[in-house]
Amino acid sequence: MKLLGFVVMDNHVHLVLGLTDRCSLGELMRDFKTWTSNRNSSKPDGSPLWERRYDDNRIQTSRELSQVLKYIHGNPVRAELVDSAEQYPWSSVHNYLRNGRQLIELDEDYWEYS
């Protein structure tokens, strides 16, 4: 998998992933949910961290990728947590702005962000 973008909100997460041929999205989500659930201490024992479902939106072009990244990066603004996407620390917007505030390395050269 290649991580292309993310936004971590208080009640949900947006991930933009590029999949390889090594696993399916269903397998990836199962393993991700299991791994994060086993490391989460914020929920009481027996309380689920994740919902069963997840949204699968296939991105076909670099233009679509750019639109999706702008949408997810704007999520904290729409939630009125910040005035601009650049102010939100838990987002990959900083990777694309190259402002030195990146939380994690991305495979941002996968497609051009404009």
Three-state SS letters, the chain = CEEEEEEECCCCEEEEEECCCCCCHHHHHHHHHHHHHHCCCCCCCCCCCCCCCCCCCCCCCHHHHHHHHHHHHCHHHHCCCCCCHHHCCCECHHHHHCCCCCCCCCCHHHCCCC
pLDDT at residue 7 in the model: 94
Lowest pLDDT segment from 8-17, 49-58, 71-80, 104-113: 104-113
Q: pTM above the 0.85 mark? A: no
pLDDT at residue 15 in the model: 86
What residue spans define the domains of the chain? 2-36+60-110
Mean pLDDT for all residues in the chain: 80
